[in-house]
Amino acid sequence: MMGPKTPLLVSLLVALGVSSAAGGHYGYSMPGSPFNISRTDRGLQQVVLAATRSFNDRSNDAFLFKPSAIRRAQRQIVKGIRYIVDLDISRTVCRKRDHIDNLSQCDFQPKGRLHQTFQCHFEVWVIPWDNETKILVFLCQP
């Protein structure tokens, strides 16, 4: 015979089972956790351009760099949108002094002494309703 606490216990176990099933054991992600996104995602493309501009602004290099490969892209919904991106940024033939706005016009440096690629990890927080973008993490290494 069931006691008065049994329905509560069954409800609790069912709730735990449901949240466990939604928690990544079966391919689902938990609400609020980062999840993989397409490399063609429009928001991701804007974040990659912002990160590349930041890289070029901080670099003392005479040439501009542009993304050459997106290795990992994730999005997390947290009081805005947090993008977590691992990408390669490679040196182009365009010089900074030429003030080129559209990096798609710039070819990559050919293999040789001027060819250079950095592996970068960026975390960017976009707050659309404030029209704000903050780069939280900016790490690049050759």
Q: In whole numbers, what is the pLDDT of the chain averaged over residues?
A: 83
The confidence score (pLDDT) of residue 29 equals 63
The rounded percent of the chain whose pLDDT value lies above 90 is 74
pTM reported for the whole predicted model: 0.74
CB 65 within 8 A of CB 52: yes
| DSSP-derived secondary structure for 16-83 | HHHHHIIIIITS---TTS-EE--TT-HHHHHHHHHHHHHHHHH---SEEEEEEEEEEEEEEESSSEEE
The confidence score (pLDDT) of residue 32 equals 85
CB 66 within 8 A of CB 106: yes
Per-residue pLDDT of 60-113, as tens digits, reads 999 999 999 999 999 999 999 999 999 999 999 999 999 888 999 999 999 999
